[in-house]
Amino acid sequence: MGLISDFLMARRLRRGPTLLLPYAPDPATVLETVRLHDPQAGPYGRGFKIGENVELRGPVALTPELAARAGLPAGWAAAFFARNIDSEAGGDFSRPSLLVRGLAERLGGREHPECQEEPPEDLAEVTGGRLIPVDEVIGLLADEVPGLEVTTVTDAGTTLLTSAESPIEVFVTEWDGDDVTYELSADGGYGTGVPAAARRAALAIADRTGGVARDHNGFLITG
């Protein structure tokens, strides 16, 4: 890089959201993983385009000098940064962070700056499937969320299932027509195994109902 481009890249990497990887990634593998977030994502300039307004630029080789100038931790080999292409275009401005966070989880990397927030309450969601009886949901999730029982049924069509044995809650919401959403969430402060249990539970619901399961970062949950 030239002096000016090196300075601009360091500033962009410092600002984030930036994906740090300990190896030089295979672009095809990165694109395959990105498509778990957006199946229509594709090559764009020096990286990839996600949706109508998000760019994932990279990979950028991290020399010690560039990493130091960008304020990145030492020992990482490559980086990508995500940004909204047009800041005036509107849309979901949280998407670059969700994209980077999900890629870090799947590609063995790290998000920079590191997220200092509490663990997310929303863990997984299943959409596009059919409605099944609540008793069937309870039986289906007996291994991952034992002890579920109906706690609340609202006038808006939402049934809340909670458990004294697990922090995971299940919201079953019937919208108009055949539209139904299964949401799995948990209060903050839960253990490290809870998100994985919620993803497995969501995948079980999706398999039974014919729906699509996504995690809290909007990535498809696969087996």
Rounded Cα distance, 206 and 132, in Å = 11
Element (H, E) at 182: strand 180-186
One-letter identity of residue 45 = G
Say yes or no to pLDDT of 3 above 50. no
Contact 81, 104 (CB under 8 A): no
Mean pLDDT of 43-61: 95
Per-residue confidence at 4, pLDDT binned at 50, 70, 90?
A: very low
Contact 99, 34 (CB under 8 A): yes
83-133 pLDDT, tens digit each: 999 876 666 668 999 999 999 999 999 999 986 567 889 999 999 999 999
Over pLDDT 70: what percentage of the chain? 94
Say yes or no to pLDDT of 37 above 50. yes
Q: Is the four-CA dihedral 197, 202, 203, 207 of positive or negative sign?
A: positive
How far is CA 116 from its chain centroid?
16
Contact 57, 80 (CB under 8 A): yes
166-219 pLDDT, tens digit each: 999 999 999 876 799 999 999 877 888 999 999 999 999 999 999 999 999 999
Q: What is the pTM of this model?
A: 0.89
